[in-house]
Amino acid sequence: MDKILLKLSYAVLLSIFGALSGCSTVRVTDPSATATQQYLTSEAVSRAISQLSFESLRGRKVFIDNSYLAEAEKGFATAEFRAVVLQAGAYVKAERSEAEMIIEMRSNGIGIDRYQSMVGIPAIYGPPTGSEAAGAGAITQTVVTPEVALTKNIRQVGFASISYVAYWADTGEIVTESGPYVGKTLREDWWFLGFGPRTIGNVPVVDRTLEQ
């Protein structure tokens, strides 16, 4: 009788472990740009546009031409520019034929410069390991030594240059122009003796604010 109970106990335990065991995988798809990259460029664009003058556009029917911007620059830059033009008292038209004034946007560049420095021993990548006898389809592995950093710094600076020229739709005569003005953003991450990062900067995703 004791042996039967013991076997039943083992069976119950195995059933419980079998029900609890297993594995699951969560699929994660990363966007083409990180939140930091997007904030660095979009905030830089906002800072550049905020310096432009739109006084001559008040009360005018305008059409915004963004065809001179690179495709990657059009989205947020156009939307932000449009919002500021509306706030200045202009009437933005969807069709070029409905406007009395054409505004051409342009940019000298929108992007991020990245600088990295470290005091310590960087990670060292060894040669791929694998058996040549296994053929071309063999799976190789690369041995990487860990990074040993006393201090490490990654500095990312966003830049955006925006300007515009406005002219009469019927004659093509220039009315006004403004810019180019440059907007600048910053994110800087520090590690000390393996601890960090300590983050400073002037974009929303950082922990501390350092206006520049």
Q: For 77-102, write each residue's pLDDT tens digit.
A: 999 999 999 999 999 999 999 999 99
C-alpha 196/C-alpha 87 separation (Å) is: 42
List the structure tokens of 4: 């039967």
According to DSSP, residue 50 is labeled T
Tens-digit pLDDT profile for residues 131-146: 554 555 556 677 888 8
Rounded to the nearest 5°, which phi and psi values hold at 24?
-140, 155
- Provide the total of helices (H) and of strands (E) in the chain, helices listed first: 3, 8
Could you please state the CATH topology (level 3) that the domain comprising 33-126+142-201 is classified under. Answer: Rossmann fold (3.40.50)
Contact assessment for residue 103 and residue 62, using Cβ atoms and an 8 Å cutoff:
yes
Rounded to the nearest 5°, which phi and psi values hold at 106?
-155, 160
